[in-house]
Amino acid sequence: MEWVKEFYNRQYELLTNNPLNQILRDDLVDKMEDLLEEKPRNLLELGGGTGQFAVAAAKRGYDVTVIELVPKAVVRMKALATEHGVEDSIHIIEGDFYEAEFNHPFDCICYWDGFGVGSDEDQTKLLHLIEEWLSPGSQAIIDCYTPWYWANAAGIEMSFDDIMRQYDFDPYHCRMIDTWWSVNDESQAVTQSLRCYSPADLELLLTKSTLLLDHSIPGGAVDYDKGEYEERVPLHQAMSYTACLVKSRP
């Protein structure tokens, strides 16, 4: 996973001035609330980026802990929390969540749009950590990329502002490959690689866990010919799905 910090640092630099990077993700808070049977007393977000979800959740009254790897993103997250007056409701940690330790369990853990970094062993390790961090009966909400969508997206190239992006797919290892670069300097291109899982694949990672895949919610898909995004499509067409994992009670 040597590429991870370089990729996310560069991605942050490329998106710094993008207006979408400044908008609070109230839609994700709505999604979390729709998926949970009970309101959590506290929640943990993994890979919080610039804090768009964490700050939105804090504004709804949640006690939020968030961990983020990229130092510049952490600085922006702290500024965003201050701008919205919720700095006392967010505990922000800069670091690698594989190395994180917490002194209390969480009622909900969210990992939006990032699961699949590393090998199957890495995902299994992360799921065991999530299992340890959750209180019994609580839920983890994790976005997972689907292999069928990203296999079909291989070769797609797009641009926005002065940023280029190209998709590829590794069929043997079942990984989507996502390369970003500035039109002003292609030599500084960076690439991420994310393992794609069907719900059945995800369940195989949980065989020795107290986490159970309770249900999954299909996400959306882009029609690249029309340049349109459809927010909700059937699972066999979706670019990702949201997995709802429940930690069984003793």
Band of pLDDT at residue 18, cut at 50, 70 and 90? confident
The pLDDT, as a whole number, for residue 214 is: 96
The pair of structure tokens assigned to 147 is: 């292999």
The pLDDT, as a whole number, for residue 16 is: 84
- Whether this model's pTM surpasses 0.85: yes
The pair of structure tokens assigned to 36 is: 């949970």
CATH number belonging to domain 3-145+197-224+237-247: 3.40.50.150
What is the domain partition of the chain in residue ranges? 3-145+197-224+237-247
Q: What is the mean pLDDT of residues 45-64?
A: 98
Distance CA 12, CA 71 (A): 10
The pLDDT, as a whole number, for residue 2 is: 74
Segment 162-212, tens digit of pLDDT:
999 999 999 999 999 999 999 999 999 999 999 999 999 999 999 999 999
Decide if pLDDT at 1 tops 80. no
Place of tokens 């919080």: 48
C-beta of residue 86 within 8 angstroms of C-beta of residue 59: yes
φ/ψ region of 110 (left if φ > 0, alpha if ψ in -120 to 50, else beta) reads beta
Distance CA 14, CA 107 (A): 34
C-beta of residue 215 within 8 angstroms of C-beta of residue 244: yes
Give the percent of the chain with pLDDT over 90. 90
